Structure 1
């Protein structure tokens, strides 16, 4: 652990050249005394670093020193190759520490050659753009150890999984040929073929998994990316049933966030209201519209109006005072 800490200290100094002992202790999660001992060890080893006392003192790396400690290790390259994951997702994959080390090395490399990109007077793009892939108000729902599952998938073997579909109460056993894992909007999915057809398995409903002796029988030419692209297109493609509704204009932005590509057309109906055409795979899917409450009215088809009426009547009966 000491060697790793010394490397982190060196990378921080190469980025800043002068840092207070207190800040270094906080960043490295050690005492100030330990920081001073580490600096002494680096200096004894020939690293041009020293402790400067006084009000404006701190730990100093001599100006002009260029210490090439920025070569990325295989695990660090692997951590950076899964770009887009947030801190929580990196932690579930067991990549937090190596990702942080890789980021420090990149920062040190940029500090060593500030004019390499010809934009030394401009802020870094990383200081202006932040990517957060977790969904709003999402809690970690996956029960399985994602890092362990990812490690198991490296063997490219057929798997037996215990899985519960969203509409089912009991877990059923399935044999699948896995492509890999996908993190989408804060949720994790296993992408796998089941009987030759690509499927999505939400990890929060995956209870058990085990490797079988047979290699994964993946379809020819298919990869995780191609299988995911097909599944995503199938999920997001508008359905065959067109439902026309009246919606308050104040709820249009919410509808676009909730319904996404299911919205086919929007037009102005009357003051304060819009007419929206929504495409669903079936009439039963109109239950999604209940979340808009009294801000919406289903106009056509009649089967959709009738289904909303049935659902609303059921809710009214369940919530009446006499139902308790």
Structure 2
């Protein structure tokens, strides 16, 4: 633990060669007394670092020292390899600390070069969390299995026996799958695996437990995690063959474009119903999926086909009946 803290102290001073003990203590989450002891240990080991008293004092690393701290250990390389994960996801997979060390080493290496920071990281920020996602401090439904442990077990390349509850089902059932890997998508974790010879997605929030078998996982020729995920994503987001025509308030067209995404087939033609309305066409896999349009409330009317309009009418009637009476005591 101390060696890791000493390395963290060096990384901080590589970026900022002059820091107060209070600043270092806050960054390392230790006491100022611990910081002073660590500085003494580094100095005794020959590192050109010292403390200076007074108003402008603090901990100082000589600028002439060019410490080679850019080497990454295996865990840090793994952390950078999945750099697209957010802070919460890295913590769940057990790479939060390694990612912090890796980025500190990169920052330290960059700080030794001449001139200001010209890296893309200074002008590009990646945030893969969905809009309106809860803050990290807000309690969310956790995965039923340990994501980090599962990731390590997948490296063994063996079949898994999982207990899984499919969407819409009240009971879970046990099945044997051939795992390919894990995918983090919009704040959720998924296991990509073959089940019955077909690629499937398993939401880890509905996986109750798993066990690693003795038999090696069966992988189809040429199949990789990236290729399997791409095929599954395309299949999940496929727009379908049911074409629904609706009129939407023109003021809500931007919202329709954002919410409907790839399902939106055509948009923007003024409707004969009058000014302020536009026609759109939306594709779904089945008529019942038209319920998705209910979120537009009074800003939409489904025109055709008749089965889709009947779904909207039935749902609207049910909502009206349940909201027309006083709520139960």
TM bin, normalised by shorter chain, reads over 0.9
CA contact (8 A) 1:159 1:209 kept: yes
Answer yes or no: is 1:108 the counterpart of 2:104.
no
Match in the other structure for 2:156: 155
> Where does residue 78 of structure 1 map in the other structure?
78
Q: Which residue of 2 aligns with 1:117?
A: none
Match of 1:124 in 2: 119
Aligned pairs for 1:24-173 within 5 A: 24-114=24-114, 120-121=115-116, 123-135=118-130, 136-138=132-134, 139-173=140-174
Q: Paired residue for 2:247?
A: 246
Which residue does 1:208 correspond to in 2?
209
Q: Moved runs in structure 1, 4+ residues, more than 3 A?
A: 120-124, 138-141
Q: Distance in 1 between matches of 2:202 and 2:327?
A: 37
Q: Is the 8 A contact 2:19 2:60 kept in 1?
A: yes
Relative distance call for 1:140 and 1:23 in structure 2 (3 A) is farther
* Structure-2 separation of matches of 1:124 and 1:57: 31
Equivalent residues of 1:52, 1:60 under 8 A apart: yes
- Following the alignment from structure 2 to structure 1, what is the Cα–Cα distance between the partners of residues 266 and 147? 40
Q: Deviation of residue 212 (structure 1)?
A: 1.7
Task: Return the alpha-carbon distance in structure 2 between the equivalents of residues 94 and 198 of structure 1.
Answer: 26
Return the alpha-carbon distance in structure 2 between the equivalents of residues 59 and 52 of structure 1. Answer: 6
Q: Is the 8 A contact 1:317 1:323 kept in 2?
A: no
The size of the alignment, in residue pairs, is 319
- 8 Å contact 2:110–2:117 — kept in the other structure? no
Gaps of 5+ in 1: 115-119
- Aligned residue for 1:218, secondary structure, equals coil
| 1:52 CA displacement | 1.2
Alignment of 1:141-290 (within 5 A): 141-270=142-271, 271-290=275-294
Report the counterpart of residue 137 of structure 2 in structure 1. Answer: none
- Using the alignment, how far apart are the partners of 1:214 and 1:109 within structure 2? 45
Measure how far apart 1:323 and its partner are: 6.6
Secondary structure (helix, strand or coil) at the match of 2:254 reads helix
Displacement of 1:128 in angstroms is 2.0
Unpaired runs of 5+ in structure 2? 135-139
Partners of 2:99 and 2:87 in 1: how far apart? 9
Residue matched to 2:306: 302
Matched residues in 2 for 1:322 and 1:38: separation? Answer: 68
Q: CA deviation at 1:167?
A: 1.1
User: Deviations 1:179-234 (Å, cap 9, x if unpaired)?
Assistant: 01000111111111111111111111111111122111111110111100111111
Aligned partners of 2:264 and 2:280 also within 8 Å: yes
1:317 aligned residue (306, 317, 321): 321
Q: Give the aligned CA root-mean-square deviation in angstroms.
A: 1.4
> CA deviation digits over 1:268-291, x for unaligned, max 9?
324222211100011010011111
CA distance in 2, matches of 1:121, 1:323: 63
Q: How far does residue 318 in structure 1 lie from its aligned partner after superposition?
A: 2.3
**Residue aligning to 1:17:** 17
| Native 8 Å contact 1:268 1:274 kept in 2 | yes
